[in-house]
Amino acid sequence: MKNRGQLIEIFVSNLANSIVHQILEKATDEQIYIDGYGKEMRNSRQIAENYRGKINPIDMPLPVKDAEEVRQKLKSKVNAELRLRISGGYKNINLELVEELVSLALKELKVV
């Protein structure tokens, strides 16, 4: 079994990937990309949900210290990946969605 820190890292990485693809999905009008981003978003979200349940019981929020650490790491990873995509030529990426989508995901997964 992985230690708690590793579980949190895997959880954050997968949830960040899900949020990145959710934002990318909103940034395009091309259905082929929308379908691909949606599939990646759902897969990563499912993996994140599985790891969330391994961190502590899913019906209980994480301790405040862990929840704040998760929030900061998640925002950082999402912003870093989106900035990388922007520098690679991606268009219409709305970085203002990051805070809202991070907060929503953390509430849905009962992190906070």
The DSSP code sequence of 57-75 is -TTSPPPHHHHHHHHHHHH
26, 19, 54: which is closest to 40 by C-alpha? 19
What's the pLDDT tens digit per position in 39-93? Answer: 999 999 999 999 999 998 888 899 999 999 999 999 999 999 999 999 999 999 9
In the chain, what are the domain boundaries? 4-108
pTM over 0.75: yes
Dihedral angle of Cα 4, 9, 14, 17, to the nearest 10 degrees: 160
